[in-house]
Amino acid sequence: MTTITLDRYADVRDAFRQHDLRQDMYDAGGLVMADCLLVLHGAEHRVRRRVENRLFRRGTFRHWEHSFLRDVVRDTLVPFVAAGRGDLVEIGYRTVMNLTAMVAGVDRPTGSDAEMIAATDELYRFAKKFSEGATLVHTTRDPREVQAEVQAALDEFDATFLQPSIARRQALLARFDAGEITEDELPRDVLTALLRHRDELGVDDDVIRRECAFYLQAGSHSTANAFTHAAHDYFTWSADRDASTDPALLQRCVYESLRLHPASPVAQRRALAPIRLRGGTEIAEGTVVVMDLAGANRDAAVFDRPLEYDPLREVPDDVPRWGHAFGGGMHACIGTELAGGVPGPSTGTAGEGEQVLGTVTLMLGALLAAGGHPDPDGPAERDPHSAREHFGRYPVAFPTS
């Protein structure tokens, strides 16, 4: 089996656009990833993406951002600020957990504040385990132990959260079909879309469970990690300068962190037919193509001083500030604008109704507004159980009155 690696920005961009390159990195994570949107190809992928894309429209993100997302970010920080300290990894997961569950269609039990917090804790635990299962190829643990833990978590998640969520949506869909409620009264989430179009999509209960688990972990894992990296890079960069916390600048800071620390450092495809890239690279059928996203995002032909963290850098007009952090082509991240927002013009301002800051920028801004800073008594540590560049813990402190 032949393997080639692409690490130039233009080559990776061209490879992402090739329809004869099929996803080839998540076979080991099949317990969570099998038949999910991210691994589908061709007609199956187009139909699934068309159904789920309806949930990820810019107007929806802008509505969420202005109606409740800011409150979610602020409220999640409250107990950590009151305690005077916290961990960025935990803060990140807890902040995005409820939003991600809403997108996936996973309902939390209603009740007291304590019950709601306990439910969030459970979802947080499941999402971390599903993430470990999805990225099994990068684990440093015994894969068999990880798979057993992931299967147990899937079974528990199904019984505790997913089945009640399915029952509620099936009842609503029955009422919709009977003309008792309108389209606007149906939940706008992945689970509802899958149940409503399951015959068209050809999905069974197992696929629905994996798709919901995938969305739960993918959104929370990548966003939480992006938040931790963004905060760390901002702390380091601003230590010797009078840095602004203007939202437009913070969004640039987030994009620069995403460029340097993409959620997945590589993408992997397998060639279904012979391919010739525009740069001249010949790819034979059956070749495994490793796209080095971290390397491509440091391509000196595209990014001046590529290893330097510089949120004020200028980039070519046809290159996003985050590089290939959100992938590209048919498998470009469906939640790009939810996590990263929509940048304003290069002046740092945006026309009314145009800019969407995105979840990570909102989280970074709230952290800084609360006075969050690295805890001098607890150094950050990398995650020892992953080959990826993730933090395992990142203690922070807040001013106390």
**Per-domain boundaries in the chain:** 3-369
Widest distance between CA atoms in the chain: 66
Q: For the ranges 66-70, 85-89, 187-191, 250-254, which has the lowest average pLDDT?
A: 66-70
pLDDT band with cut points at 50, 70 and 90 for residue 401: low
| Whole-number Å distance between alpha carbons of 328 and 271 | 16
Mean pLDDT within 295-322: 96
- CATH class for the domain made up of 3-369: mainly alpha
* Pairing mode of beta strands 288-292, 3-6: parallel
pLDDT band with cut points at 50, 70 and 90 for residue 347: very low
Helices (H) and strands (E) in the chain, counts: 16, 11
| Whole-number Å distance between alpha carbons of 105 and 60 | 15
Which one has a higher pLDDT value, 302 or 53?
Answer: 302
Q: Write the pLDDT tens digit of every residue in 9-22.
A: 999 999 999 999 99
Q: Write the pLDDT tens digit of every residue in 108-161.
A: 877 777 888 888 889 989 988 998 888 787 778 898 999 999 999 999 999 999
Handedness of CA 34, 91, 157, 145 (dihedral sign): positive
CA 281 centroid distance within chain: 31
Residues contacting 244, CB < 8 A, separation 6+? none
pTM: 0.87
Nearest Cα residue to 137 out of 42, 210, 33? 33
| Whole-number Å distance between alpha carbons of 57 and 177 | 25
Q: For the ranges 97-101, 275-279, 395-399, which has the lowest average pLDDT?
A: 97-101
pLDDT band with cut points at 50, 70 and 90 for residue 277: very high
pLDDT at 304: 96
For residue 373, give both structure tokens.
């800073």
Q: Which of 33-37, 140-144, 323-327, 352-356 has the highest mean pLDDT?
A: 323-327
Q: State residue 5 phi and psi, 5-degree precision.
A: -120, 130
* pLDDT above 80 (res 79): yes
**Helix (H, G, I), strand (E, B), or coil: what is residue 24?**
coil
* pLDDT above 50 (res 349): no
Which one has a higher pLDDT value, 65 or 187?
Answer: 187
Nearest Cα residue to 79 out of 121, 107, 111, 122? 121
| Whole-number Å distance between alpha carbons of 10 and 7 | 9
